[in-house]
Amino acid sequence: MELEVEITHLGAQGDGVAQGPEGPIFVPFTLPGERVRIEVDPGNGHAALIEVLAASPDRIAPICPHFGICGGCALQHMEQGAYLRWKREQVVAALKSRGLDTEVEEVRPVAPGTRRRAGLTLGRGTDGLALGYRRARSHDLIDVAVCPVLSQPIAASLPKLRAALAPLMGGKREARITVTQTTEGLDIVAEGFRPTAAAFGAFAGKAVALGVARVTADGESIAMGAAPTVTLGEMEVKLPPGAFLQASRDAEAVLIGLVREGVGGAKRIADLFAGLGTFTLALAGNATVDAFETDEAALSALSEAARRTPKLKPVRTFTRDLFRSPLGAKELQGYDATVFDPPRAGASAQAAELAKSRVPNVVAVSCNPGTLARDLRLLVDGGYRIACVVPVDQFLFSPHIEVVAHLMR
Ligand SMILES: C[S@@+](CC[C@H](N)C(=O)[O-])C[C@H]1O[C@@H](n2cnc3c(N)ncnc32)[C@H](O)[C@@H]1O
């Protein structure tokens, strides 16, 4: 059904929202105040944009030719100031929903072309073999010839990788491919491959020319040369296949700066959900740091980097499931700062323990304002005061946002 509607605001996924005859209608790639003609998808409250009849003054030309088709980006059509204000509002709203009326700073912008990890799908697209993203709210695969969000080495390699990786699928319809830019070249982790020895041999022969440093297919790794490393802050750390990495190197630098400011002059720090040690290694120049994490491979890469780096204060690593077994208030005694950077689910069990602790400085890093707000509420109820909240635009043009919050008691 075709309709003409006015977009009143953006929803949490960055789609424009209009009031339709039967309730809200979500229209991607539109902006508040716009009058648009849409094709409504009956029964699910979503619509496709047919035409913008009256454009918002905030509408700009997208920087990517795939925008509007590819589901990777939701918000390239919005002027940067308005876009960053909207992202900040998402954080304000999440905190408000937990009764936290805290000042939220301006969003720290991150430049395009700085994303060093991409999660892509390889398979049949509408026009043949494709390596790219899905069309928004669809299973259709879009072959991505350019992607201005990705770092140049990843973006430039996509067409060649598509052709070279396809024979490794061994008849499977689709494979999930994560490409990471490392110092030694591209690190590729694939799920859903079924390579024959001959196909793998043929790929290995081309890998160096393609700039590929390692391929891990369904858990089995084959490095083409030296094991891949990534630079975290200023330190080189070996990258275990699949270990967490902050998506953008520029965003990582901003996060490290904010975490450093938050811990101040602390001399004993606990880094919880430490991963490869993005914060541990940055903080260990001035403080002894205990790093807690479930991923053993990440922790051993972190310890090895710490041992190799001169002039660091002692770093200790602990394999620990902080959901089931958070550090208790007693164990937290003696730390003068704690950093916690959990997955999207947040860290309610750990936040509840921190809330009972006497740790003077707590820095929370999160890619999910909703669970962050829940965890901050626990800390505030335990007597902490929120000193600052800073959003960082790590997930450029998507509705997602990274946030750093500093709390004190
Ligand atoms: C958002 S990442 C942050 C990693 C690190 N702080 C960084 O900046 O690179 C979250 C980390 O939490 C770890 N993790 C997930 N579940 C966990 C759990 N239950 N207990 C401890 N660590 C966990 C993941 O392995 C991942 O390294």
Q: Check whether residue 192 and residue 148 sit in a common domain.
A: yes
- Residue 124: what are its φ and ψ, rounded to 5°? -80, 120
Q: Check whether residue 262 and residue 378 sit in a common domain.
A: yes
Query: Within 13 A of 230's CA, how many CA atoms are on the CB side?
Result: 29
The CA-CA-CA angle for residues 292, 240, 338, to 5°, reads: 20
* Assigned domain for 12 exists: yes
Q: Check whether residue 189 and residue 308 sit in a common domain.
A: no
Residue 138: the pLDDT is 84
Residue 171: the pLDDT is 80
* Assigned domain for 240 exists: no
Handedness of CA 196, 199, 184, 253 (dihedral sign): negative
User: How far does the centroid of ligand 1 lie from the alpha carbon of residue 292, in Å?
Assistant: 9
* Assigned domain for 236 exists: no
Q: Check whether residue 256 and residue 369 sit in a common domain.
A: yes
* Assigned domain for 78 exists: no
Kindly list the protein residues whose Cβ atom lies closer than 6 A to any atom of ligand 1. Answer: 244, 246, 273-276, 278-279, 293-295, 298, 321-323, 341-343
Find the domain containing 363 and state its range: 85-111+245-408
Best residue for ligand 1 mutational test, from 289, 294, 324, 368 (most atoms within 8 Å of Cβ): 294
* Assigned domain for 281 exists: yes
Q: Check whether residue 310 and residue 250 sit in a common domain.
A: yes
**Which mean pLDDT values do the consecutive 10-residue runs of the chain (409 residues) have?**
96 95 94 97 90 98 94 96 98 98 97 96 88 88 93 94 90 92 95 84 88 89 86 93 95 98 97 98 97 98 95 97 97 96 98 98 98 98 98 97 98
Query: Within 13 A of 152's CA, how many CA atoms are on the CB side?
Result: 0
* Assigned domain for 320 exists: yes
**Residue with the two structure tokens 């505030």:** 380
Q: Check whether residue 149 and residue 210 sit in a common domain.
A: yes
- State the DSSP code for 108: B
324 CA: nearest ligand 1 atom: 19
- Residue 368: what are its φ and ψ, rounded to 5°? -140, 100
Say how far apart CA 26 and CA 11 lie, in whole Å. 8
Single residue among 230, 254, 273 that ends a domain in this structure: 230
What is the total count of domains within the chain?
A: 3
CATH number at residue 358: 3.40.50.150
Best residue for ligand 1 mutational test, from 180, 231, 244 (most atoms within 8 Å of Cβ): 244
Q: Check whether residue 194 and residue 218 sit in a common domain.
A: yes
Residue closest by Cα to atom 13 of ligand 1: 273
Q: What is the pTM of this model?
A: 0.95
User: How far does the centroid of ligand 1 lie from the alpha carbon of residue 343, in Å?
Assistant: 6
Answer left, alpha or beta for residue 277, where phi above 0 means left and psi between -120 and 50 means alpha: left
